[in-house]
Amino acid sequence: MKTVYTCFCTDVIHEGHLNIINEAKKLGKVIVGCLSDEALIRYNKFPTISQEDRVELYKALEGVEEVVIQNDMLYNDVIPEIKPDYIVHGDNWKAGPEKSIRDHVELLLKEYGGKLVDIPYTYNEDVKKIDLQLKEKLAMPEYRRKRLRQLLKLTPIVKAMEAHSGLTGLIVEKTVVEHEGKLDQFDAMWISSLCDSTAKGKPDIELVDMTSRFRTIDDITEVTTKPIIFDGDTGGLTEHFVYTVRSLEKMGVSAVIIEDKKGLKKNSLFGTEVKQTQATIEEMSAKIAAGKKAQLTDDFMIIARIESLILEQGMEDALARAHAFVAAGADGIMIHSRKKEPDEILEFCDKFRKDNKETPIVVVPSSFNTITEEELAAHGVNIVIYANQLTRSAFPAMQQTAEDILKYHRAKEVDDRLMSIKQIITLIDEI
């Protein structure tokens, strides 16, 4: 009897999957691969049910003889092991980023003479509705909020990208790339105080009030599903911060990062060029403890950001603060630097990790941008935040367009570098 292999990464079985099983059955004994959570989150939406529940779901399907875990999105683990006579898949992977996976599977099959069978992909109103329902579920506060903690367990380094509007949120949500055969995407969104303020034409000095910052979160949560890390600046007065924590939890935000500064906060990238005052260890610890006491869910994280390196207070001060803030209840530590080289960040991570193996470390490599995610992870970093790159790429593009239209007294000269009207209207999902 021939063996047929198909890989599923769905949380809900619909007509399309049943069709695949039916077609596969005609060719031989059906083995279904359940794509592991670790592999799935690199190119699909986050799962709404556990890997174990997905295995049970697939096992219960009539015609499925066996379910195995597939750990590699490129099928490198399962194909040489099972050597199926056939691999069956919906033909939607013939185009788009998934095509590289299909190409790779073809190569693997060629090695021993296996065959690839593409089945016409089923996409009708029912399937579309299921897709939308899953997306809605992922966007719900109670599901979204806990996702950062889930991701920290699933991936060596969580990648967060700046978002400051519905549109930038959509870019973070939907961008999937294929590079060297593998697919990848961002895991989370960072609502930067710098970019949120800049988008409003205001300086990054806690001038944009919380109500307005929450409005930005609303704009983003309405159209996305990925978890949110909120830049809470100094957190404000402790008496105010406890309310902020509750509001963020209610909105489904996963984490707030507050920095150990007080008085008029300026952007860290100014460093010591402007007057900035660091809060004492006691003041910051009290704020963290009050926030932790106020929070109602176990999902939410309060991450303490240390400005000692920015303000040139030394490594020992940074480390002492990190340990004190963890003792006060912080769920993570963000260490910041504005040096071009990552040395002081790596030194901090290595030294902190000597005494603390668990507490997540967050870094924002805006200045020390040559370091890769892999290198950061090797030094114990758990979350990397690309804090402002969408804003910084959009601004010069818009400015150049404005200048050129003024120069040429028409828009023809800029047209080649614009997104088409057709593309922009299809960017936005319609219900």
Active site members: 204
364: contact with ligand SPV by CB under 6 A: yes
Structure tokens at 245: 């924590």
Of 50, 75, 72, 62, which Cα lies nearest the Cα of 25? 62
Q: Which of 6, 221, 224, 267 binds ligand SPV (CB under 6 A)?
A: 267
Q: Which does 154 bind (CB under 5 to 8 A by kind): Mg ion, ligand SPV, none?
A: none
- Part in contact with Mg ion (CB under 5 A); list of ranges 152-160, 185-193, 241-249, 423-431: 185-193
Using the minimum distance from each CB to Mg ion, give the nearer residue, 73 or 310: 310
Per CB under 6 A, 268 contacts ligand SPV: yes
Q: Least distance to Mg ion from the beta carbon of 194, Å?
A: 5
From CA 382, how far away is CA 363, in angstroms rounded?
Answer: 8
Sign, CA torsion 221/227/232/235: positive
- Binding-residue pattern over the window 164 to 193 for ligand SPV, x denoting contact by CB under 6 A: ----------------------------xx
Using rule CB under 6 A, residue 366 touches ligand SPV: yes
Comparing CB distances to ligand SPV, the nearer of 207 and 428 is 207
User: Applying CB under 5 A, which part among 126-134, 152-160, 187-195, 321-329 lies near Mg ion?
Assistant: 187-195
Tell me: does residue 260 bind ligand SPV (CB under 6 A): no
User: Of these partners, ligand SPV, Mg ion, none, which one is at the site of residue 387 (CB under 5 to 8 Å by kind)?
Assistant: ligand SPV
- Distance of alpha carbon 257 from alpha carbon 331, whole angstroms: 10
Q: Does 269 participate in binding ligand SPV (rule CB under 6 A)?
A: yes
Mark the segment that binds Mg ion (CB under 5 A) among 148-156, 186-194, 326-334, 392-400.
186-194
Candidates 79, 333, 387, 390; binder of ligand SPV (CB under 6 A) is 387
Q: CB-based contacts of 56: which residues, under 8 Å, 6+ apart?
A: none
Alpha helices in 222-314 (DSSP H): 238-251, 281-294
Task: Supply the DSSP string of 139-169, one letter for each residue.
Answer: HSHHHHHTHHHHHHHH-SSEEEEE--SHHHH
**Phi, then psi, of 415 in degrees rounded to 5:** -60, -35
Tell whether residue 337 is a contact of ligand SPV (CB under 6 A). no
Determine, following the binding rule CB under 6 A, whether residue 388 of this chain makes contact with ligand SPV: yes
- Note whether 32 binds ligand SPV by CB under 6 A: no
Asked if 308 is part of the footprint of ligand SPV (rule: CB under 6 A), the reply reads no
Report how far residue 88's alpha carbon sits from residue 20's, in angstroms, rounded to the nearest whole number.
Answer: 7
173 near Mg ion, judged by CB under 5 A: no
How distant is the alpha carbon of residue 275 from its chain centre? 34
Residues that bind ligand SPV (rule: CB under 6 A) add up to a total of: 12
Q: Check binding of 306 to ligand SPV (CB under 6 A).
A: no
Contacts of 307 (CB under 8 A, 6+ apart): 259, 260, 261, 268, 276, 278, 336
Of 39 and 258, CB closest to Mg ion: 258
Q: DSSP class of residue 301?
A: E
Output the CA torsion 230→233→239→240 (10° steps): -60
Asked whether position 194 contacts ligand SPV by CB under 6 A, the answer is yes
Residue 374 token pair? 């892999």
* Among the residue ranges 1-9, 12-20, 212-220, 267-275, the one whose residues contact ligand SPV (CB under 6 A): 267-275
Nearest-angstrom CA–CA distance, 382 and 399: 36
Residues 199, 420, 100, 127, CA torsion sign: positive
> 22 vs 389, which CB is nearer to ligand SPV?
389
Q: Which of 37, 206, 231, 307 is close enough to bind Mg ion by CB under 5 A?
A: 231
Residue nearer to Mg ion on the CB measure, 229 or 290:
229
Q: Please, which residue, 245 or 387, has the CB nearer to ligand SPV?
A: 387
Does residue 225 belong to the site contacting ligand SPV (CB under 6 A)?
A: no
Angle of helix 281-294 relative to helix 315-327, nearest 10 degrees? 30
Tokens of residue 348, six digits: 């901090």
- CA-CA distance, 320 to 313, in Å (whole number)? 11
Q: Say how many C-beta atoms besides its own lie within 10 A of residue 241's C-beta.
A: 22
Q: Which of 3, 100, 193, 278 binds Mg ion (CB under 5 A)?
A: 193
Please provide the distance, in angstroms rounded to a whole number, between the alpha carbons at the two ends of the chain: 45
Would you say 35 or 362 has its CB closer to ligand SPV?
362
For 279, half-sphere exposure in the C-beta direction (CA atoms, 13 angstrom radius) is 27
Least distance CB 147 / ligand SPV (angstroms): 21
Judged by the rule CB under 6 A, the positions of this chain that interact with ligand SPV are: 192-194, 204, 231, 267-269, 364, 366, 387-388
Judged by the rule CB under 5 A, the positions of this chain that interact with Mg ion are: 193-194, 231
